[in-house]
Structure 1
Amino acid sequence: MGKRIDKERNKSDKKQWKLFASGVLYLLPALIVISVFLFYPMLKTLYFSFFVTTAGGVTQDFVGAGHYTRLLQSGAFQTSMWATFKFVLYTVPTGIVFALFLAVIANEKLKGMAFFRVIFSSTLGVSVAAGATIWLFLFHPTLGVLNNILAVFGIDGINWLTSSDWALVSVAITTIWMNIGFNFIVLLGGLQNIPEELYESSRIDGAGYWHQLFKITLPMLSPTLFFVSVVTLINSFQTFGQIDILTGGGPSNSTNLIVYSIYREAFYNGRFGYASAQAIVLFLIILIFTVLQFKVGERKVHYQ
């Protein structure tokens, strides 16, 4: 009897190993792609951060944690980090609230609302280069629409992209506009998945619109809001294209966010080791914020 049980157990183990091997075989192409384009660059970046490199990216002298020590003492890096945190603060809450506002409006069952849904989500089809170029013309000090509107009300024009007080705000406005389409579509999908029976029951109990919004809509939408907040935060930390086109990190490094700083150190100054150290610091910052969001924010998420 014992031998029979052992035999059946061995057959079961062999079957499990065959299933595991089959699964790995099917996943192998994806694992190769991920290893080549994700894991290898990450390990290479970590390796570079401990060396001084040539302009061609060849490692020379081992400096250990020297680059990281230099970063902590660098005024330029501190300015870059401060600008990055301000940019994230400008774009993430504002972008989510604005997209939620549009999604709530578009979720209303009114005639012609499908047209506005297309309009609200249209920025999703605009590339970073095209979107930044559009706003480059809007921010023009003399020909731009924004300053012409201000002139109608007798307000002096603003140097949107050449003033250190307004440049970061201008890039933030552009980023919010560019991300609104994605956030809108995701939030609208979340709204449309809320069961209508909940609203019908609340109306029977005499609940008004605002009571339904804060007691039903937002709690039921919390998983979608949590997802949007995590993605938007990560995207904000990784913003690059609009900065390169609109301001080039200026004026006075007021828009020199950490990703753009990494780009300049690597491809302008040829200091790949120093740039890699900044990239590792950015990775750790994003990781910490993401973990905090999951630890703190997910507690308030209402899963059905």
Structure 2
Amino acid sequence: MSFNRNEKSGLLFSLPALVIAFGFSIYPLIKTIIYAFSFTDEKGVIVERAGIENFYELFTDPSFYYSLLATLKFAVITVFFSIVISLFLAILCNEKIKGIGFFRTIFSSSLGVSISAAASIVLFMFHPSLGVVNEIIKFFGGIPLNWLTDSKYALITVAISTIWMNIGFGFLVITAGLQNISSDIDESCAIDGAGYFDKLFKVTLPLISPSIFYFTITTTLKAFQSFGQVDILTGGGPNNATNFLVYSIYKTAFSSYRFDYASAQGVILLIIIILIMLFKSKLEKKVHYQ
């Protein structure tokens, strides 16, 4: 196969990106799949073929189902509230109100906060004895809660930190969708005598559905891959209440040195993400694109 000069130049310029993609995406994926069907020692060296033994162990392990259920709960909570809050703030800031630019800056500020910084702030706020949240509860005569050490509240606390981090991005995405709506549509609604909520639910939301859909998919994928905030806030506890799939993979591989079993979990996570993307492609047909 021969290449002309332009094709050779294109391949040469693409080579660094191809090397990075292979080294950090394709090769680890292939190695994970190989490990999932093998037995490894504590150094990660393959000692023999395992067939589907790792997957059989995985699907007969109750802790895997607890981890999967915790991940699903976390994803539902974070995605739902991230969308609702971001949408509310975006619609609010789309109104022509004096000084609204300041609030746009505030609402989008969490986009520039790293996971470690956000988790550290939440850790301070929900501290059982020094936290601001418990101080407010005590001020109103309530009983302070163990937000991070009680299995009833730990997942909610981690979800709060994740929702806060998601809001900035969601606010910008949905605001961009709102500002792309033509002023002619607003004038037509005013001429037709459409009320505020009729216009919102029958015109505005359908027109910004691509932005909402994009934010929903990205937030869902991020929820299934959450790690940093879990590691800082709860370490997967208490009682595995926040032992989400990615964190479970990390602990299995680098605490228990079960690289084969961790790889099997990684393959399951990959299948879940593929299913989400297939669902996305089906659902996208119902999205209103102008």
Name the TM-score class by shorter chain.
Answer: over 0.9
Deviation at residue 265 of structure 1 after TM alignment? 0.4
Find the counterpart in structure 2 of residue 219 from structure 1.
Answer: 206
Residues 15 and 105 (structure 1), Cα distance of their counterparts in 2 relative to 1, 3 Å cut: farther
Matched residue of 2:261: which SS?
helix
> Does the alignment pair 1:43 with 2:30?
yes
TM-score, normalised via structure 1 length: 0.92
> Does the alignment pair 1:300 with 2:286?
yes
Deviation at residue 20 of structure 1 after TM alignment? 5.0
Letter in 2 for 1:26: F
> Does the alignment pair 1:256 with 2:259?
no
Query: What pairs with 1:181-200 in structure 2 (closer than 5 Å)?
Result: 181-200=168-187
Q: 1:168 aligns with which of 152, 155, 159?
A: 155
Q: Distance in 2 between matches of 1:101 and 1:22?
A: 49
Q: Distance in 1 between matches of 2:4 and 2:71?
A: 48
Letter in 1 for 2:104: R
Find the counterpart in structure 2 of residue 202 from structure 1.
Answer: 189
Query: What pairs with 1:113-152 in structure 2 (closer than 5 Å)?
Result: 113-152=100-139
> Does the alignment pair 1:273 with 2:260?
yes
Residue ranges of structure 1 left out of the alignment (5+ in a row): 1-13
Residue ranges of structure 2 left out of the alignment (5+ in a row): none
Q: Distance in 1 between matches of 2:123 and 2:252?
A: 25
Deviation at residue 262 of structure 1 after TM alignment? 0.2
Residues 70 and 116 (structure 1), Cα distance of their counterparts in 2 relative to 1, 3 Å cut: same
The CA deviation string for residues 155-207 of structure 1, in whole angstroms up to 9 with x for no partner, is: 11111111111111111111101111111111111111111110111101111
The CA deviation string for residues 94-124 of structure 1, in whole angstroms up to 9 with x for no partner, is: 1111111111111112111111011001111
Letter in 1 for 2:141: G
Deviation at residue 299 of structure 1 after TM alignment? 2.8
Find the counterpart in structure 2 of residue 156 from structure 1.
Answer: 143
Letter in 2 for 1:165: K
Deviation at residue 22 of structure 1 after TM alignment? 4.8
Deviation at residue 150 of structure 1 after TM alignment? 1.3
Deviation at residue 18 of structure 1 after TM alignment? 6.3
Q: Distance in 1 between matches of 2:196 and 2:165?
A: 30
Deviation at residue 17 of structure 1 after TM alignment? 6.7
Structure 1 contact 164–250 (Cα < 8 Å) conserved = yes
Matched residue of 1:269: which SS?
coil
Q: Distance in 2 between matches of 1:73 and 1:111?
A: 60
TM-score, normalised via structure 2 length: 0.96
Letter in 2 for 1:278: Q
The CA deviation string for residues 34-79 of structure 1, in whole angstroms up to 9 with x for no partner, is: 1111111111111111112122211112111111111110011111
Find the counterpart in structure 1 of residue 86 from structure 2.
Answer: 99
Structure 1 contact 230–293 (Cα < 8 Å) conserved = yes
Q: Distance in 2 between matches of 1:171 and 1:81?
A: 16
Deviation at residue 19 of structure 1 after TM alignment? 5.7
Matched residue of 1:61: which SS?
strand
Letter in 1 for 2:255: Y
Residues 51 and 116 (structure 1), Cα distance of their counterparts in 2 relative to 1, 3 Å cut: same
Find the counterpart in structure 1 of residue 16 from structure 2.
Answer: 29
- More displaced 10-residue stretch of structure 1: 208-217 or 113-122: 208-217
Deviation at residue 153 of structure 1 after TM alignment? 1.9
Q: Distance in 2 between matches of 1:197 and 1:19?
A: 46
Deviation at residue 15 of structure 1 after TM alignment? 11
Q: Distance in 2 between matches of 1:282 and 1:88?
A: 13
Deviation at residue 212 of structure 1 after TM alignment? 1.2
Find the counterpart in structure 2 of residue 5 from structure 1.
Answer: none
Find the counterpart in structure 2 of residue 73 from structure 1.
Answer: 60
Letter in 2 for 1:35: F
Find the counterpart in structure 1 of residue 277 from structure 2.
Answer: 290
